[in-house]
């Protein structure tokens, strides 16, 4: 039971940055839409809160998609570039570097 909860929390931590990025624009769009559709006096703050919570599954899906198709390829590219830089550093002998510098 505790292990299952821990796995869910750790997977949420993986997409937390995307969730952080997407939640504010979606909540702001909800506020703007509720102001345009209804007058301020008709919409109770708890209804706005419920509307915002209703968007959270969509935000989570968007965060997961961003992690899968943007963050993971970027991380892989960064690792590949770093490995290539390290290989290039090992391939150049120290004597050649000192000759080029002079």
- Buried-exposed string 58-94: b where 16+ CB fall within 10 A, e elsewhere: ebbebbeebbeeeeeeeeeeeeeeeeeeeeeeeeeee
Tell me the per-residue pLDDT of 75-96, one tens digit each, with 9 for 90 and over: 999 999 999 988 887 876 665 5
Mean pLDDT for the chain? Answer: 83
Predicted local confidence at residue 72, as pLDDT: 94
> Which residues, 6 or more positions from 16, have their beta carbon under 8 angstroms from its beta carbon?
63
What is the rounded CA–CA span in Å between residue 30 and residue 33?
5
pTM: 0.70
Look at the block and give the residue holding tokens 């550093």.
89
Q: Which of 35, 21, 26, 13 is nearest to 66 (CA)?
A: 21
The structure tokens listed for 14 are 């993986």
């Amino acid at each position: 039971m505790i292990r299952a909860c821990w796995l869910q929390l750790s997977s949420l931590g993986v997409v937390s940055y995307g969730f952080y990025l997407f939640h504010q624009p979606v909540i702001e769009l909800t506020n703007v839409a509720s102001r345009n559709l209804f007058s301020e006096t008709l919409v109770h703050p708890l209804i706005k809160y419920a509307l915002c919570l209703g968007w959270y599954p969509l935000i989570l899906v968007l965060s997961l998609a961003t992690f899968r198709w943007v963050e993971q390829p970027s991380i892989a590219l960064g690792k590949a570039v770093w490995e290539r830089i390290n290989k290039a550093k090992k391939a150049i002998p120290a004597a050649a570097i000192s000759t080029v510098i002079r």
